[in-house]
Structures are given as C-alpha cells and as structure tokens.
Structure 1
Amino acid sequence: MSSPGAAGSIRLDKLLWYLRFARSRAIAQAMVAAGHIRLDGRRVTRASAAVHAGATLVLPIGERIEVIRLLTLPLRRGPAPEAQACYTRLDPVAPAAS
C-alpha cells in the first residue's frame, strides 16, 4: 500500500481526521455526508472525494467557518503542530464593525 503523499491525493474523510478537524474517521465521514464542506468551491458529499495539495477547503467548525488552503498532504495523524504545518488558514471576509 502506498502512502497518501505518493499517490498525490488523499480521501477527504482521512484528510479531515489527519488534520485533526475530526476526532475520528467516522465523524469525518458524517461531516462530509452532511454536505456543508466545500472543496475548491464545490459542495462535497462523498467522503471518498480526492483532495490534492493546493486545494481550498471550507469547513464548518462549531460556530465558525474555517477556510484553509492545503499546502502539503499529511502522511499520518500526528501531533497538532505537525497537522497545522500542512495547511494555512485563509481569513474569510470579516463582518463590518457596528
């Protein structure tokens, strides 16, 4: 079996688990199935969707929306600093101050 980086892509549910956006792979699959995740602007409902380095993801995390750009594919579910090194957060448009 080859590593995710060797193939050039990784399953979306596995990516969410590796990057620590989900506590388990089953939770990651449920997040995707709910239809609230966007991959490069497209709504994704298949946990098996392939994700490549350079992709932009929009994720609902609690009460906020996270927009991230994937810099590199993670090779494993490691510690949080290792996971955070694989992506960069993109700032969504800030709401106007009242």
Structure 2
Amino acid sequence: MTDGTPATPARMRIDKWLWAARFYRTRSLAAQAIAAGHVKLDGHTVKAGRDLHMGACLEIAIGDLVWTVVVRGFNVQRRPASEAQLLYQETPESSARRAANQEARRLAPVPGSELRGRPTKRDRRQIRGFNENC
C-alpha cells in the first residue's frame, strides 16, 4: 500500500527541476533560459528535455547573477522555498562570487537606478531650468 505521497524520481527534466527548485517562475521561462544558453550542465549547453541526475553540476545565469549548484534531490511538485533549497547545494566559489557582485552593486549603483516612474513637478522644473540655461 502507498501512503499517497509521490515517489521521488531518480531523474528529472532539467526545465522541470529548475522550476521546482524555484530558479524560474514557470517551466516555459526555464525552457527559454535553457534555449538561450543561460543554463549549462557540466559546462555544456543542453536542451530543456535533457534528463538531470543526482550530483550533476549546473551553471545558471539569471541577469547579472551566476549560480553554480550541485543537484542534491528532486521534487515532482513545486514546494515552498525552504524545501526547494534542499534540492541543490551552491558551491562555495559561487556564493563568494555572488556576494562580491552584490557588494559591488551596493557600493557603486548603476546611475539612474533610484529613479522610479515619471518625473514629479519639481523634477520637471529642474529639467526645464537646466535645459534653458544651456
């Protein structure tokens, strides 16, 4: 007899694993990232249907961040983030690289990154005054 819990598979499609491990919101976004070459399995680009096995090393580029993780488990369903973090282990080099990247972004933010939405009335007056004085 079974207790109703799904059995943990020995292999899983790479796009489904990325979705279950919460690197991407949907499987289609994961498949698009794989097709674009943002995900590498053991240093090689792969297709979304490729089977993933335990101990495989994945390199995942999301924006400016690059994760290097080792697959530790599989989940058939998408579970909470605390459980999803148990599916992989990030390498120490990867976590140090990401921390250095985040610190560099904090110390030297991209110009204009603090601007949000349309200019206010005050901002428009300053822009107009700057343009008229030139």
Q: CA offsets, 1:30-86, max 9 Å, x none? A: 011101211012111x11010001111000022110000011112320000100011
For 2:88, the equivalent position in structure 1 comes to 87
TM-score by length of structure 1 reads: 0.83
Larger Rg: 2
CA distance in 2, matches of 1:27, 1:43: 16
Structure 1 residue runs without a partner (length 5+): none
Cα RMSD of the aligned pairs, angstroms, is 1.8
CA distance in 2, matches of 1:4, 1:48: 20
CA distance in 1, matches of 2:8, 2:42: 19
Residues 15 and 74 in structure 1, CA contact (< 8 A), matched pair in contact too: yes
CA distance in 2, matches of 1:77, 1:17: 7
Give % identity: 35
**Greater RCO, 1 or 2 (C-alpha within 8 Å, sep 6+):** 1
| Count of residues in correspondence between the two structures | 91
CA distance in 2, matches of 1:18, 1:4: 15
TM-score by length of structure 2 reads: 0.62
Structure 1 residues 26 and 82, CA gap change in structure 2 (3 angstroms): same
Which structure's residues are more often helix, by fraction? 2
Structure 2 residue runs without a partner (length 5+): 1-5, 101-134
For 1:17, the equivalent position in structure 2 comes to 19
Residues 38 and 62 in structure 2, CA contact (< 8 A), matched pair in contact too: no
SS of 2:8's equivalent in the other structure is helix
For 1:50, the equivalent position in structure 2 comes to 51
